[in-house]
């Protein structure tokens, strides 16, 4: 079963999380493989999306926020879009849109950052969004400080965390056809640290520096974790191997009902709204051509079919909460 483990290092300003997606990840892959139009993901795309899925769960687990965390890659190569959406209850869904060939050993930049124009966006979308309220979004490029292309999504996200939360973060990610897993270690701000500059209190300086050494040591230990170990070892073994000399304190893990699991939020009503937004003319055109409107969900593979009667109903049987000034809407 998929699981998320949270832990702290007692007395040290460092916290961490370890995620292993097994059934949830296999579910996502199986649904894609069952799609006769796309077929299964090529291995490099699978690795990218799996690492994004693991990172998405870690990032959602790391914040106190009542809403969806959406991690997106907008690629300028054959992979146009990668999306992972994680809800506060850790249910998640993920999909990638690929146009054109991806070589069997393609690197991250060959997939999504050919011309250094690829972007990664992190969106926090509140559950009960007020009218007019925009979701918070942060966007980071897929290159480093010198403009060099980054080849690990973990580096891209470490960059984001430093920028948005001003927190030093270490991320180790890996994914194959069975497991998508990740380790996150974060340095917590030490009280008074912000005011340190210019102060001459050497005792305080020493104690803060000491604490940042703790993070450096734990960061080095964490980075020593190999891809293979992350994919094949269970959480107990990984945490013990890395931190057996550290004052590790663990919380009750999130597994099963409370753990990460696949769930899609698509439904016929939402698809209907999307079709309606195309406008009468466009929809009539599709029906004239294909006899019906058929929409497949990229996340779960569900097929939604609207025959001519259903489709016409979309434009007449409008629910009362729909604004009346939309094109094709009712006039009162």
Q: Tell me the closest approach of the beta carbon of residue 298 to Zn ion, in angstroms.
A: 8
State yes or no: residue 262 binds Zn ion (CB under 5 A): no
Secondary structure of residue 9 in the 3-state scheme? strand
Q: State in Å, rounded, how far the first CA of the chain is from the last one.
A: 53
How many other C-beta atoms are found inside a 10 Å radius of the C-beta of residue 315?
Answer: 17
Q: Tell me the closest approach of the beta carbon of residue 319 to Zn ion, in angstroms.
A: 21
Q: Tell me the closest approach of the beta carbon of residue 34 to Zn ion, in angstroms.
A: 13
The secondary structure element, H or E, covering residue 266 is none
State yes or no: residue 28 binds Zn ion (CB under 5 A): no
Q: Which of the ranges 95-103, 141-149, 178-186, 294-302 carries the binding residues for Zn ion, by CB under 5 A?
A: 294-302
Q: How many residues does the chain have?
A: 332
Residue 138 contacts residue 121 (beta carbons within 8 Å): yes
Given 143, 254, 262, 299, the residue binding Zn ion (CB under 5 A): 299
State yes or no: residue 264 binds Zn ion (CB under 5 A): yes
Q: What is the C-alpha to C-alpha distance for residues 302 and 78, in angstroms, rounded to an integer?
A: 25
**Residue that has been written with the tokens 């899609």 in this structure:** 264
Q: Which of the ranges 20-28, 110-118, 226-234, 264-272 carries the binding residues for Zn ion, by CB under 5 A?
A: 264-272
Q: Tell me the closest approach of the beta carbon of residue 124 to Zn ion, in angstroms.
A: 21
Residue 264 contacts residue 272 (beta carbons within 8 Å): no
Q: Which of the ranges 45-53, 203-211, 230-238, 260-268 carries the binding residues for Zn ion, by CB under 5 A?
A: 260-268
Q: Tell me the closest approach of the beta carbon of residue 301 to Zn ion, in angstroms.
A: 7
State yes or no: residue 266 binds Zn ion (CB under 5 A): yes
Residues that bind Zn ion (CB under 5 A): 264, 266, 297, 299-300, 302
């Amino acid at each position: 079963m998929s699981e998320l483990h949270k832990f702290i290092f007692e007395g040290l300003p460092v916290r961490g999380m370890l995620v292993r997606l097994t059934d949830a990840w296999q579910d996502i892959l199986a649904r894609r493989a069952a799609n006769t139009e796309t077929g299964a993901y090529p291995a490099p795309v699978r690795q990218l999306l799996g690492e994004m899925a693991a990172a998405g769960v870690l990032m959602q687990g790391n914040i106190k926020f009542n809403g969806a965390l959406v991690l997106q890659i907008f690629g300028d190569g054959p992979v146009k879009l990668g999306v992972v959406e994680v809800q506060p209850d850790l249910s998640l869904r993920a999909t990638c849109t690929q146009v054109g060939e991806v070589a069997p050993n393609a690197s991250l930049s060959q997939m999504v950052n050919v011309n250094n124009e690829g972007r990664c966006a992190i969106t926090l979308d509140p559950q009960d969004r007020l009218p007019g309220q925009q979701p918070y979004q942060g966007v980071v490029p897929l290159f480093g400080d010198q403009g060099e292309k980054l080849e690990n999504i973990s580096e891209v996200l470490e960059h984001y965390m430093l920028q948005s939360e001003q927190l030093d973060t270490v991320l180790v990610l890996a994914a194959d056809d069975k497991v998508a897993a990740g380790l996150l270690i974060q340095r917590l701000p030490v009280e008074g640290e912000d005011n340190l500059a210019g102060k001459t209190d050497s005792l305080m300086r020493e104690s803060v520096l000491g604490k940042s050494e703790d993070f450096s040591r734990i960061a080095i230990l964490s980075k020593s974790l190999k891809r293979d170990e992350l994919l094949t070892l269970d959480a107990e073994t990984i945490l013990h191997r890395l931190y057996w000399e550290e004052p590790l304190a663990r919380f009750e893990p999130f597994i099963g009902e409370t753990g990460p699991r696949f769930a899609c939020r698509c439904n016929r009503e939402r698809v209907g709204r999307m079709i309606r937004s195309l406008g009468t003319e466009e929809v009539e055109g599709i029906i004239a051509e294909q006899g019906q409107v058929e929409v497949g969900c990229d996340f779960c593979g569900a097929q939604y079919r609207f025959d001519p009667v259903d489709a016409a109903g979309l434009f007449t049987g409008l629910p009362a909460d729909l604004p009346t000034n939309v094109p094709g809407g009712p006039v009162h």
